[in-house]
Amino acid sequence: MSDISYVRERFIPAESPPISDASAYGWIRRNLFASWSDSVLTIVAILAILYYLPPAIDWLFLSAVWTGTDRTACLTVDQGGALPTGWSGACWAYVGDRFVQFMFGSYPRDQLWRPLLVAAVFVALLVPFLIPRVPRKGLNALLLLVGLPIFAYILLLGGRFGLRHVETSLWGGLMVTLILSFVGIVISLPAGILLALGRRSQMPILKTACIVFIELIRGVPLITVLFMASVLLPLFLEPGNNIDKFLRALIGVSIFASAYMAEVIRGGLQAIPKGQYEAADALGLNYFHKMTFIVLPQAIKLVIPGIVNTFIGMFKDTSLVTIISMYDLLGVVKASFGDSGWITPVTPLTGLIFAGFVFWLFCFGMSRYSAFVERRLDTGHKR
């Protein structure tokens, strides 16, 4: 009696997945050459990259001049230097030589420990503030947003506690950019909250005043607000006043930022369900308690990404003070193009690429952080 049942004694080795699915070939096929038009686009893109990228890398790094003490390091033979004719490349030697100026402007060189100390304190307070797990956020925020500005004001300006007075006209570079945007942030948050609350209030006159202010400032370019602060402010104050130029720019930037912040926060206020307000009323809370304990914490949490985006915009916008002849990072870099020690054909491009990279680093960092917070808050809400 023959046994017709068939029992397999060992497994068949698993088939490898279809070649179009798992291999590099499959990936390329799917993502680069899925259709005719796709293939054409890919080939054009690859050709463009091959055409532009190597010269760009060559200009930025390979042909670049890294060391040198004056302009001759970055000049070709016919221009009076030592480099071969037809050379073109980045002149990083110039950025290296001017680096301190790009960071601090004309701040007295023997006093540089003061901005450096402020920067160190800033980082020490900011980093724990940004990491969600670190406790005591309230104290941290208080130190960062109130303590630090006072500390920085005393230390940077000097004139007391035996510190030498350093005029604001000597300030410059990245330091000014950071101070302007930080003060803009610190002032615009509370001012924006007040304006947003005013705009949503039931009182017609208060409401109108806030709407007019917000819409007027948002309707005009920052540069006109800066002109207003720098030209009109001295005119509108007591005769004979001599209001500091840096302070004028600070006021201009803060006014502008407050109006934009107000709109962001209003968005958050509008997103809070009416029941929250009514519940607060039912509990017998007064307006102040209702806002600080119930509405604002939820509203601000909702619009944190929007707030960070406003910060990014403000950080970029501070570069406009260059136009009212102040020396922020961009202003210092631009002013250095006229510096006879470093006039070369490649200086402007090198300087601007450096400044652009610094701005990019800060803005990109902020936007990444904003995305991180957004994701975090998102999971918190989904439950």
Partner 1 sequence: MAIADARTGSGDPPKVSLLYNPALRSYVYQIVTIVVIAWVIWYAWHNASQNLARANMTAGFGFLNSRAGFDVAQSLIAYSSDSTYFRALQVGLINTLVVSAAGIVTATIVGLLVGIGRLSQNWLIARLCTVYVEIFRNIPPLLVIFFWYLGVLALLPSIRTIFQHLEENPDAVFFISNRGIYMPAPVFGEGFGYVLTAFAIGIVAAIAFAIWANARQRATGKRPPVLMVSLGLIVLMPVVVFLFAGMPLSLDYAIPGSFNMRGGMSIGPEFLALFLALSLYTASFIAEIVRAGIRGVAKGQTEASYALGLRPGQTTRLVVLPQALRIIIPPLTSQYLNLIKNSSLAVAVGYADLVAVGGTILNQAGKAIEIIAIWMLVYVSISLVTSLFMNWFNAKMALVER
Which residues lie near partner 1 (CB under 8 A)? 30-32, 34, 38, 41-42, 45-46, 49, 202-206, 209, 215-216, 218-224, 227-228, 231-232, 234-239, 312, 316-317, 319-320, 322-323, 330, 334, 337, 345, 348-349, 352-353, 355-356, 359-360, 363-364, 367
The residue (of 293 and 360) whose beta carbon lies closer to partner 1 is 360
DSSP secondary structure code for residue 9 in this structure: -
The helix-helix angle for 92-104 and 173-199 (nearest 10°) equals 50
Minimum CB distance to partner 1, residue 374 (Å):
13
The residue (of 76 and 367) whose beta carbon lies closer to partner 1 is 367
The helix-helix angle for 329-336 and 347-382 (nearest 10°) equals 170
Minimum CB distance to partner 1, residue 67 (Å):
23
Minimum CB distance to partner 1, residue 27 (Å):
8
Q: From CA 254, how far away is CA 116, in angstroms rounded?
A: 24
Minimum CB distance to partner 1, residue 77 (Å):
19
The residue (of 125 and 315) whose beta carbon lies closer to partner 1 is 315
310, two tokens? 């406003």
The residue (of 169 and 208) whose beta carbon lies closer to partner 1 is 208
The residue (of 101 and 336) whose beta carbon lies closer to partner 1 is 336
DSSP secondary structure code for residue 23 in this structure: S
Minimum CB distance to partner 1, residue 158 (Å):
30
| Radius of gyration, CA atoms only, the chain | 29
Minimum CB distance to partner 1, residue 223 (Å):
5
Minimum CB distance to partner 1, residue 273 (Å):
22
User: Is there a contact between 362 and 185 (Cβ–Cβ < 8 Å)?
Assistant: no
Closest by alpha carbon to 329, among 95, 105, 122? 105
Per-residue three-class SS string for 102-134 = HHHECCCHHHCHHHHHHHHHHHHHHHHHHCCCC
User: Is there a contact between 91 and 64 (Cβ–Cβ < 8 Å)?
Assistant: yes
The residue (of 223 and 285) whose beta carbon lies closer to partner 1 is 223
The residue (of 151 and 227) whose beta carbon lies closer to partner 1 is 227
* Chain centroid to CA 69: 32
User: Is there a contact between 103 and 175 (Cβ–Cβ < 8 Å)?
Assistant: yes
